[in-house]
């Protein structure tokens, strides 16, 4: 959107926030899709998660992460200043076509939440003539953000330059106005069609029969497991343990969680497994509570089913790592444990990062000496770390049969 049209849009949004905040409310989800642009002026809509400012919930990252203030992403109290940040993020998007956060939209939901919580902004694309309006609104310090009245004073001169311009057709490029009108007509037609379908006198049609259902096989019993330092590059004593029930659900339960890691489409055949994606992550734990995740722990949080525990993980970059691809995966019969094990070896760079991360965990007291192991957006386990784990290899052991161990190894990237 060109600067003139953006100023007109900003004026309407700021005026809306003046009214919202005067009523003692915080909108909490200001974003492009919640701004309508009818000809008579912008409208800010969707108050589904707005609340009175004095009872705003803490411990919940509400809103849309790409446009949420850092304090909102961290689950801290949201205030009128949080709406100002989201306003600035929306205007930045209108000016540049993207969120002000670095690489927002790439990576997992967890990684994007962390970028927002850390305030990882990238504002180099902002046009110079809009810098004075938008950049202060994106301050990481809520107290440093401008008020709505200060924003109106910045916008007023631009509007005064065109005193006879009023509606969207005066301020927005022709393509924008045509698209808005086309969208309005289509929505009216869709609404009319919907009303005709649900009219009591409307003609009815026969619903096609559902496909036949089938009984699913029972879930196999989960053997006890442990996750230890080891494999071909074993150095020193055991350094990492994972409780039996914690890994059983995602590792022995078949392919679902593992496919999040490997990208296996389940097609079978002789197709070689795809490389491991950036879906396997290790993150230091900050706090943990027994029971369901609730407002007591700020996000990002993960739920472990058995024992039922909620874990809040660190948002600091130094406290987490992603594994892009494993160097080696194999199933082997290990006489030391008296059964089959899965050995995973990190690549050199990941091995060093894992050693450093496990060392940091070992230096902390419980529960901060735990390391959350995440596949996709799901917590696999949160083992306690006794000591730094060098050597780049970890070993999953348990009561595996030969076929179970080999199948799991293949799904993690091993080749027959």
Q: Active-site residue numbers?
A: 29
Residues 6+ apart with CB under 8 A from 94: 1, 6, 9, 32
CA angle at 303 for the pair 300 and 307, rounded to the nearest 5°? 145
Closest CA to 411 of 261, 267, 282, 219: 261
User: Phi-psi category of 46—alpha, beta or left, where left has phi over 0 and alpha has psi -120 to 50?
Assistant: left
Segments of 51-107 assigned E as strands: 51-52
Provide the 8-state DSSP code for 236.
S
Angstrom CA distances, 187 to 59, 173, 191, 192, 404, stand at: 37, 22, 6, 9, 54
Pairwise CA distance, residues 147 & 137, whole Å:
9
Instruction: With H, G, I as helix, E, B as strand and everything else as coil, classify residue 322.
Output: strand
Pairwise CA distance, residues 408 & 416, whole Å:
12
């Amino acid at each position: 959107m060109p600067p003139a049209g953006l100023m007109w849009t900003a004026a309407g949004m700021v005026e809306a926030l003046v009214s919202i905040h005067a009523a003692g409310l915080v909108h909490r989800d200001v974003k492009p899709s919640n701004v309508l642009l009818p000809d008579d002026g912008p409208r800010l809509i969707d108050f589904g998660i707005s609340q009175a400012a004095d009872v705003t919930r803490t411990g919940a990252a509400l809103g849309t992460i790409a446009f949420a203030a850092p304090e909102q992403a961290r689950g801290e109290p949201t205030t009128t200043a949080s709406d100002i940040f989201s306003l600035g993020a929306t205007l930045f998007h209108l000016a540049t076509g993207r969120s002000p956060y670095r690489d927002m939209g790439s990576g997992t939901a967890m990684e994007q939440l962390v970028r927002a919580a850390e305030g990882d902004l990238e504002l180099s694309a902002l046009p110079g003539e809009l810098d004075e309006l938008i950049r202060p609104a994106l301050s990481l310090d809520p107290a440093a953000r401008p008020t709505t009245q200060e924003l109106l004073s910045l916008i007023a001169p631009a509007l005064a330059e065109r005193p006879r311009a009023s509606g969207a057709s005066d301020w927005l490029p022709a393509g924008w106005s045509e698209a808005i009108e086309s969208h309005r007509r289509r929505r009216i037609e869709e609404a009319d069609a919907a009303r005709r379908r649900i009219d009591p006198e409307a003609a009815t049609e026969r619903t096609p029969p559902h496909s036949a259902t089938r009984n699913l096989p029972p879930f196999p019993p989960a053997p006890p497991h442990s996750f230890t330092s080891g494999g071909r590059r074993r150095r020193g004593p055991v350094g990492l343990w994972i409780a039996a029930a914690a890994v059983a659900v995602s590792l022995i339960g078949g392919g679902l969680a593992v496919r999040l890691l490997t990208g296996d489409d389940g097609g079978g055949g002789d197709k070689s497994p795809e490389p491991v994606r950036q879906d396997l992550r290790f993150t230091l734990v900050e706090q943990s509570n027994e029971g369901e995740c609730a407002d007591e722990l700020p996000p990002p949080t993960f739920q472990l089913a058995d024992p039922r525990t909620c874990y809040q993980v660190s948002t600091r970059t130094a406290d987490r790592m992603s594994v892009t691809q494993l160097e080696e995966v194999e199933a082997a019969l290990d006489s030391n444990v008296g059964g089959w094990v899965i050995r995973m070896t990190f690549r050199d760079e990941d091995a060093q990062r894992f050693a450093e991360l496990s060392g940091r965990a070992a230096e902390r007291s419980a529960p901060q000496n735990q390391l959350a192991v995440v596949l996709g957006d799901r917590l696999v386990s949160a083992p306690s770390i006794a000591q730094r784990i060098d050597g780049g290899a970890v070993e999953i052991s348990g009561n595996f049969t030969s076929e179970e161990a080999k199948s799991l190894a293949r799904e993690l990237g091993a080749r027959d």
